[in-house]
Structure 1
Amino acid sequence: METITCGSWIGQLGKALAPRELEALLWVAQGLTTKEVARQMAVSPGTAANRIENALFKLEAKRRLDAVMKAMHQQIINPLCIVLVCIMAMHASLNDGDPMRRDRRAPERRTAQVRIVRKAEALELHA
């Protein structure tokens, strides 16, 4: 199946949206405004708005965020970062015994103790 990649999102062609509507929706998923989508697609802002509205209508969504969520649910679009997260998770599970890996622990809280000691020293010097 053919795909379109825009920024960090990938879309599947042939699943309810025309190619330009899918491209517009992918740019919307990136968080771009209508004018920015128009610049990316090299069309006028009115044309970009029409493509976005057509995608909203076909996905039966009232808002852009709703359209992105419905498209993700129907597996029309997917973020590319999911692939990166899966690779990182697989790497972590395979290399669990890595001696160079160490878990971080919370820093010790010694500031209160240091202040108390300094106050006591200051009182002893003045006495």
Structure 2
Amino acid sequence: MNALTFGTWTGNLGMGLAERELQCVMAVACGMTSKAAARELGVAKDTVDKRLLSASTKLGVIKRAQLVAVAMQKGLISPVATALALVLTLHSMIGDDVALRVRRGGNGGERKIETRVATRRHECALAVA
């Protein structure tokens, strides 16, 4: 399966949307307007609007927010941060929390582990996943 990356999103080709449609949906997911997406993709604003209309018709939605939500549900697009969150979650599940530790020097050469930062990272990873 081929994958596209646009901004902070990854899209999967061969799952119902054409390449340009998928790029336009990812641009919407990034919060771009049609004009900004057109500038980024090097096409006319009308081209972006037509591709979004085509993608909306294929997915059976009307609004842009619905378009992004349905594309995520069907696995057409996903945030790039999902992979990072998965790695952090797996580390915490297998007990390998070395990657989450922040060590700071303490009094008398004693090393303390800052668990507050590790806990926040873990909570963020769970919230994203």
* TM-score, with structure 1 as normaliser: 0.75
- 1:95 deviation in Å? 1.6
- Amino acid across the alignment from 2:96: L
2:96 to 94, 97, 111: 94
Equivalent residue runs for 1:40-119 within 5 Å: 40-92=40-92, 93-95=95-97, 100-103=113-116
* TM-score, with structure 2 as normaliser: 0.74
Q: Which has the larger radius of gyration?
A: 1
- Amino acid across the alignment from 2:11: G
Work out whether 1:22 is the aligned partner of 2:22. Answer: yes
- Identity fraction in percent: 32
Q: Deviations over 1:68-89 (max 9, x none)?
A: 1111111111111111111222
SS across alignment from 1:103: helix
Aligned residues: 104
Q: Deviations over 1:75-126 (max 9, x none)?
A: 1111111111112223344127x6513338xxxxxxxxxxxxxxxxxxxxxx
- 1:48 deviation in Å? 1.0
Work out whether 1:8 is the aligned partner of 2:21. Answer: no
Higher strand share: 2
* Distance (whole Å) between structure 2 residues aligned to residue 103 and residue 36 of structure 1: 39
2:37 is matched with which residue? 37
RMSD across aligned positions (CA): 1.9
Q: List alignment gaps of at least 5 residues for structure 1.
A: 105-127
Q: List alignment gaps of at least 5 residues for structure 2.
A: 102-111, 118-129
